[in-house]
Amino acid sequence: MMNNATPVINLLWTGGWDSTYRLLILTQKKIILQPHYIICDRRRSVNNELNAIEKITEDIVNDSRTKCDFLPTIIIKEADIPPNEEITNAFNRIRQQVLIGPQYEYLSRYAHTVGNLEIGIEKGGLAEDMINKFGKINYVDKDGLSYWELDRSASSEDLITVFGGFRFPIYTMSKLDMKEEAEKLGVMEIMEKTWFCHFPYKGLPCGSCFPCKFTIEDGLAYRLPKKALRRYKTEKKFGKYKIYQRMKRLRRKWLHY
């Protein structure tokens, strides 16, 4: 909270569907909104994500419905996030039992430096499985600013160490739920400017990376071109075979998708 009692909300913003949905909800509230973006050099989609952030920021600033004090996005490189051995060790122990994405390790280290960082973990998926396996979350509603957070009395020490610095504002929503609400709010035009693919090919989604798969399987296949959907179907059919996996690694090395 600031001295004038205006809530300050720190939001991890990737330029993607989930975090942008939360961002747009928050822009219509009288708060101070501080987005954060982390550059991961291993992802080939950084420029696409930053372009999406730039375009959406311009829309928000020029939107008469915007009520929040929208601060410039804080951009930090993953390599510049301070190390935290306790978080890293706890993350590794969790990942031995639930194969969550490696990004949660450095995101957790960053959340430790910010405090109460909102993250766009949605309904379903390995992250929800992990939370259900190691703990419990509680619903919080403070003056209309609702979110979920870990129940520290019913969660493992490792789970608290890794995810205790986060708030989960869209934990019970699916991508289609967000689409429905965005349509009601009249912000779908902005939502369509979001980016999700980690291995774009010729400026378009690849169809075979994890975010592309999640987008298709969560009901938003219309956002991908036909070639990407064909790659997705090929992946589903042959992905378990080693020869296909080798071919995919070579394709990503030489063709970058």
For the chain, what is the largest distance between any 2 Cα atoms, rounded to a whole number of angstroms?
61
Spatial CA neighbour of 123 closest among 81, 165, 157, 174: 174
Regions of the chain with pLDDT less than 70? 1-4
Residue 215 has what pLDDT?
95
Spatial CA neighbour of 134 closest among 170, 95, 168: 95
Give the integer Cα–Cα distance in Å for 133 and 58: 41
Residue 9, token pair as written in the block: 């909300």
Could you read off the pLDDT of 186-195 as tens digits, one per residue? 999 999 999 9
CB-CB neighbours of 122 under 10 Å: 24
Residue 99 has what pLDDT?
87
**Strand ranges (DSSP E) for 23-115?**
32-39, 69-70, 74-77
Spatial CA neighbour of 38 closest among 73, 89, 9: 73
Q: What domains are there in the chain, each with its CATH number?
A: 8-176 (3.40.50), 196-254 (no CATH)
Residue 1 has what pLDDT?
46
225: left (phi over 0), alpha (psi -120 to 50) or beta: beta
CB-CB neighbours of 34 under 10 Å: 19
The DSSP bridge partners found for residue 74 are 36
Spatial CA neighbour of 164 closest among 156, 173, 176: 156
Residue 15 has what pLDDT?
97
219 Cβ neighbours under 8 A, 6+ residues apart: 174, 175, 176, 179
CA distances from 201 to 208, 215, 234 (A): 11, 16, 16
Give the integer Cα–Cα distance in Å for 127 and 102: 12
Strands 137-142 and 145-150 turn out to be: antiparallel
Kindly report the pTM of this predicted structure: 0.92
